[in-house]
């Protein structure tokens, strides 16, 4: 299992969490450049970041004694499980851990909204992701996927798949 932890965090979240441990995320993304970009931005935002490349590796990590506040996962990845199956595992086995999903191909529907707390369409705006994930974990701005009247989920970033550019 590939696992890349960070050192001591610094940044805006330190002030927000006070004496509590720094916010910790398990970043699950098979595309190394995307994972590096998002991971670096989260670290700059004060997060402790652990990185893995598959949902299978993420489950192995989550079965360890390590503690995370959030799992941020891609949907389509190599391995025996995808990001939605990982989200279902987290909901079932680690219900206190928040889950956010990101994808360039998948758009969530109302039947899957219970699996995660937030959705980000790719390509992601890393500044927005860091801000909204911090608010999600701290409980200051719930990131739950919201439904349009037609049943499609509204991503946290305000992306509207029905709007054509």
- Residue-wise pLDDT tens digits, 28-82: 999 999 999 999 999 999 999 999 999 999 999 999 999 999 999 999 999 999 9
**Is residue 79 a part of any domain in this protein?**
yes
**Is residue 18 a part of any domain in this protein?**
no
Q: Which two tokens stand for residue 56?
A: 């299978």
**Is residue 129 a part of any domain in this protein?**
yes
- Give the CATH number, domain containing residue 83: 3.40.50.2300
Give percent above pLDDT 90 in the chain: 59
Higher pLDDT, 106 or 6: 106
Instruction: Mean pLDDT check: name the lowest of 7-11, 26-30, 92-96.
Output: 7-11
Q: Which two tokens stand for residue 29?
A: 């993304």
CA 118 to chain centre: 8
Q: Which two tokens stand for residue 92?
A: 């079932």
**Is residue 78 a part of any domain in this protein?**
yes
**Is residue 6 a part of any domain in this protein?**
no
Quote the CA–CA distance of 38 and 128 in Å, as a whole number.
11
Helices 55-62, 83-93: crossing angle, 10 deg rounding: 20
Residue 17, class by beta-carbon neighbours within 10 Å (0-12 exposed, 13-18 middle, 19+ buried)?
middle
Instruction: Mean pLDDT check: name the lowest of 26-35, 79-88, 112-121.
Output: 112-121
The number of folded domains in the chain is 1
Helix (H, G, I), strand (E, B) or coil at 161: coil
Residue span of the structural domain in which 104 resides: 24-154
What is the band of 2 on the pLDDT scale with cuts at 50, 70, 90?
very low
**Is residue 8 a part of any domain in this protein?**
no
DSSP H or E run through 43: helix 32-44
- CA distance to 96, 157, 163, per residue, from 125 (Å): 26, 8, 18
How many Cβ atoms from other residues are within 10 Å of residue 104's Cβ? 13
Confidence at residue 10, expressed as pLDDT on a 0 to 100 scale: 42
- Over residues 70-98, the mean pLDDT reads 96
**Is residue 48 a part of any domain in this protein?**
yes
Confidence at residue 141, expressed as pLDDT on a 0 to 100 scale: 53
State yes or no: pLDDT of 13 exceeds 50.
Answer: no
Return the bridge partners of 27, or none.
51, 72
Quote the CA–CA distance of 46 and 63 in Å, as a whole number.
24
Q: What are phi and psi of 145, to 5 degrees?
A: -60, 130
What is the band of 138 on the pLDDT scale with cuts at 50, 70, 90?
confident
Q: Are 42 and 51 in contact (CB under 8 A)?
A: no
Instruction: Provide the whole-model pTM.
Output: 0.76
Higher pLDDT, 113 or 42: 42
**Is residue 118 a part of any domain in this protein?**
yes
């Amino acid at each position: 299992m590939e696992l890349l932890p960070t050192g001591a965090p610094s940044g805006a979240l330190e002030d927000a969490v006070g004496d509590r441990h720094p916010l910790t995320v398990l970043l699950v993304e098979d595309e190394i450049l995307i994972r590096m970009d998002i991971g670096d931005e989260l670290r700059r935002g004060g997060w402790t970041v652990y990185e893995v490349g598959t949902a299978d590796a993420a489950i192995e990590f989550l079965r360890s004694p390590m503690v995370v506040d959030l799992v941020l996962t891609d949907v389509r990845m190599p391995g025996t499980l995808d990001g939605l199956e990982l989200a279902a595992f987290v909901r079932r086995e680690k219900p206190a851990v928040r889950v956010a999903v990101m994808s360039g191909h998948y758009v969530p529907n109302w039947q899957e909204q219970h699996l995660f707390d937030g959705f980000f369409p790719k390509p992601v705006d890393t500044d927005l992701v860091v801000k909204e994930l911090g608010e999600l974990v701290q409980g200051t701005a719930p990131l739950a996927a919201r439904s349009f009247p037609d049943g499609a989920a509204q991503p946290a970033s305000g992306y509207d798949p029905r709007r054509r550019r």
